[in-house]
């Protein structure tokens, strides 16, 4: 790396934070079964401790996303949870309402044809907004499992209008510092027509909901051939990109660690963001979050792997020479334009990552340092004992 590249990569890292998901530290499973880990978090306290540990090692994960039903039980004091997070050196990040687990959601939540269920779902979201205000969270992150499984099952237009009405009502409840993120997914659990199936649908609904509703791009929620960075560029240009859920996949929503299958994909997404920032003279405000559940890899190791990979790819993308790229594009010099991206991608940014970590008093290799601390071993022993004392059988709900 040249000194100029080193500086650019380090400056990029200074502004890059990634939110970890509370559910990523707990026992979770596939649709067919769960394989339990002794070190898996039992309760929110454990999840915040694990997230705090990841932040202490990486220095770039200051917030933890929470799930309202899984993490906040009815009657729980949100301010006490915020205090607990602070004790672990982190803050509560995006609030994720749960609109898919209760039996009443069999036919959907906001898209349901029963007004009483829609009202129930909306009330749960209002409660989530209130929790967000109490803990100082900036984001309400919405994912809906709503959809239909067979042609003719429901009115696609009526379900869309139900979504419009509920999202608009929810937007009115947002505090001045809160942003609503609308996530999309092409299929699963619905296998005929998911109500918010792609970025265009999420865009339309967010636009109609109000100015503080944006689109959330989960990198696993696209068809295999889809050009995700193009979607990102369009959303950026429309000021409608709210955030990301990072994961990688080979087939569908596989929840693999970021960059394990296609690091160039994540690089190209980051490139669009840096290029946008270079054109506009400002870095857009984007919530970078992880959404992964690991059944095989140890959960904290998988989280650290994703964080470290995201930092490396973000730093590489910052190295694209934008002036040279504009010149090449102006001349339709296809080869040189592509080479600028490929050269940045191929640059070894390890010196920049190490320098940044040293400057921030962080271990140069967070994963090895995590192993060296013995954190997972200690957590496994302690949590195994606690499970026994509490009479807990590993299993139960998804998280
Ligand atoms: Mn997601």
For residue 152, how far is its CA from the centre of ligand 1 (angstroms)? 28
Q: What is the pLDDT of residues 56-75, one digit of tens each?
A: 999 999 999 999 988 987 78
Alpha helices in 136-262 (DSSP H): 156-173, 199-209, 228-237
Distance 388 CA to ligand 1 centre (A): 32
For residues 189 and 374, give the distance between their C-alpha atoms in angstroms, rounded to a whole number: 38
What are the tens digits of pLDDT across the range 162-218? 999 999 999 999 999 999 999 999 999 999 999 999 999 999 999 999 999 999 999
From CA 39, how far away is CA 163, in angstroms rounded? 39
> Are 185 and 198 spatial neighbours (Cβ–Cβ below 8 Å)?
no
CA 287 / ligand 1 centre spacing (Å): 12
**Complete DSSP assignment for 271-302:** HHHHHHHHHHTS----EEEE----SSS-HHHH
C-alpha 183 – ligand 1 centre gap (Å): 7
> Is the whole model's pTM more than 0.85, yes or no?
yes
Instruction: Compute the distance between CA of residue 114 and CA of residue 108 in angstroms, rounded to an integer.
Output: 9
Pairwise CA distance, residues 65 & 381, whole Å: 26
Going from the Cα of 271 to the center of ligand 1, the distance in angstroms, rounded, reads 21
Mean pLDDT of the chain: 96
Query: What Rg value do the Cα atoms of the chain yield, rounded?
Result: 21
Give CA 78 to chain center in angstroms. Answer: 22
Q: Alpha carbon 117 to chain centroid distance?
A: 27
d(CA 143, CA 216): 9
Q: What is the pLDDT of residues 325-352, one digit of tens each?
A: 999 999 999 999 999 999 999 999 999 9
Give the neighbor-by-neighbor strand order of the sheet with 241-246.
20-21, 63-67, 91-96, 139-142, 179-183, 213-218, 241-246, 287-290
3-state SS class at 217: strand
Express each pLDDT in 215-261 by its tens digit. 999 999 999 999 999 999 999 999 999 999 999 999 999 999 999 99
pLDDT tens across 258-301, in order? 999 999 999 999 999 999 999 999 999 999 999 999 989 999 99
Cα 200 to middle of ligand 1, angstroms: 17
């Amino acid at each position: 790396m040249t000194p100029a590249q080193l500086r650019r990569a380090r400056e990029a890292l200074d502004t890059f934070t990634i939110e970890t998901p509370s559910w990523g530290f707990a026992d979770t499973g596939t649709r067919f079964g769960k394989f339990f880990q002794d070190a898996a978090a039992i309760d929110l306290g454990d999840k915040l401790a694990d997230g705090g540990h990841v932040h202490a090692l990486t220095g770039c994960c200051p917030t933890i996303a929470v799930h309202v039903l899984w993490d906040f039980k009815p009657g729980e004091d949100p301010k006490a949870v915020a205090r607990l997070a602070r004790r672990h050196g982190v803050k509560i990040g995006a609030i994720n309402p749960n609109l898919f687990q209760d039996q009443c959601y069999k036919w959907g939540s906001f898209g349901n044809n029963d007004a009483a269920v829609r009202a129930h779902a909306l009330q749960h979201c209002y409660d989530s907004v209130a929790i967000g205000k109490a803990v100082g969270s900036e984001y309400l992150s919405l994912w809906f499992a709503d959809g239909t499984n067979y042609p003719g099952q429901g009115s696609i237009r009526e379900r869309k209008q139900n979504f419009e009405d509920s999202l608009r009502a929810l937007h009115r409840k947002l505090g001045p510092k809160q942003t609503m993120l609308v996530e999309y997914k092409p299929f699963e659990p619905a296998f005929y027509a998911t109500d918010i199936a792609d970025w265009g649908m999420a865009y339309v609904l967010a636009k109609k909901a109000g100015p503080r509703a944006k689109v959330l791009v989960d990198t696993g929620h696209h068809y295999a051939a889809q050009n995700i960075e193009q979607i990102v560029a369009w959303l950026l240009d429309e000021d409608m990109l709210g955030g990301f859920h990072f994961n990688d996949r080979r087939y569908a929503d596989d929840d693999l660690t970021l960059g394990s299958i296609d690091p160039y994909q994540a690089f190209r997404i980051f490139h669009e963001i840096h290029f946008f920032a270079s054109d506009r003279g400002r870095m857009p405000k984007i919530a970078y979050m992880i959404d992964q559940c690991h059944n095989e890899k140890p959960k904290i190791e998988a989280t650290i792997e994703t964080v470290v990979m995201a930092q490396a790819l973000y730093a590489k993308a910052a190295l694209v020479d934008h002036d040279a790229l504009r010149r090449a594009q102006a001349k339709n010099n296809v080869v040189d334009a592509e080479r600028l991206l490929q050269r940045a991608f191929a640059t070894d940014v390890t010196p920049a990552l190490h320098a940044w970590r040293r400057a921030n008093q962080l271990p140069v290799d967070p994963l090895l340092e995590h192993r060296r601390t013995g954190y997972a071993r200690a957590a496994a022993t302690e949590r195994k004992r606690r499970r026994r004392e509490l009479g807990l059988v590993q299993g139960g709900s998804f998280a």
